[in-house]
Chains A and B, each alone.
Chain A
Amino acid sequence: GNSVTQMEGPVTLSEEAFLTINCTYTATGYPSLFWYVQYPGEGLQLLLKATKADDKGSNKGFEATYRKETTSFHLEKGSVQVSDSAVYFCALSDRGNYGGSQGNLIFGKGTKLSVKP
């Protein structure tokens, strides 16, 4: 069945460091891919998405490219800030092949990021 695997945390970085959080997926068809972020004490917020191969999602300096050949959707940011400290979830929608529609989400376990000043 469909699944998402993301790198184990926690990840601790200094401010202005480069961030990569790896995410790979297993899916039939052509899923849509997402990164959600959960700040302390808050719910899940959509960070970025990509609905087809080679799409790049971007938001708030974060980027991720939908790589069908490697079934990956790694999250990157060139220079992290203390305010980026949160838990990051990679997810896929198993209805992504229907014109980019979003159905039920399948999540990875989440990666906790701590950024030190």
Chain B
Amino acid sequence: EPEVTQTPSHQVTQMGQEVILRCVPISNHLYFYWYRQILGQKVEFLVSFYNNEISEKSEIFDDQFSVERPDGSNFTLKIRSTKLEDSAMYFCASSSSVNQPQHFGDGTRLSIL
């Protein structure tokens, strides 16, 4: 069964550095999402992406964050000037349409030191 893949599985970065989290959505999917889960807290929506542009974003997704689909397969989340509170598990998801369920990757655990 096709699946969403995320790399790396664990990223350790110094505070203030930039980090790029990578996702390969399922190949025929058109809708892409990022969520995050701070340890012990809820999974929170960050951003949705369709037709090469952001369709919706939460208040968490401020100017520090950006997303990109640089080619036909990858979907990336960039975090500039990371802060300690950015430490979390980041999940990528994709769906073929808004009427179909979202498929999630295994997540990237981001640790900011």
Contact = CB atoms under 8 A, between A and B. Distances in A.
- The size bracket of the interface on B is 20 to 34
Given A107-B44, A109-B42, A102 B95 contact: yes
A79 interface: no
Interface stretch (B11-19, B70-78, B79-87, B100-108): B100-108
Contact of A43 (B4, B42, B56): B4
B113 interface: no
Nearest to A107: B43
Nearest to B9: A41
Contacts of B44: 107
B4 A105 contact: no
A29 interface: no
Contact of A49 (B33, B42, B58, B101): B101
Interface stretch (A11-19, A70-78, A93-101): A93-101
Contacts, number: 58
Given A44-B43, A89-B43, A102 B106 contact: no
A107 B59 CA distance: 16
Contacts of B97: 101
A110 B38 CA distance: 12
Interface residues of A, number: 25
A14 to B, nearest CB: 26
A34 to B, nearest CB: 8
Nearest to A34: B101
Contacts of A95: 98
Given A46-B101, A102-B100, A109 B106 contact: no
Contacts of B42: 107-110
Question: Top 4 closest A-B pairs, CB basis?
Answer: A44-B104, A107-B43, A43-B106, A101-B98
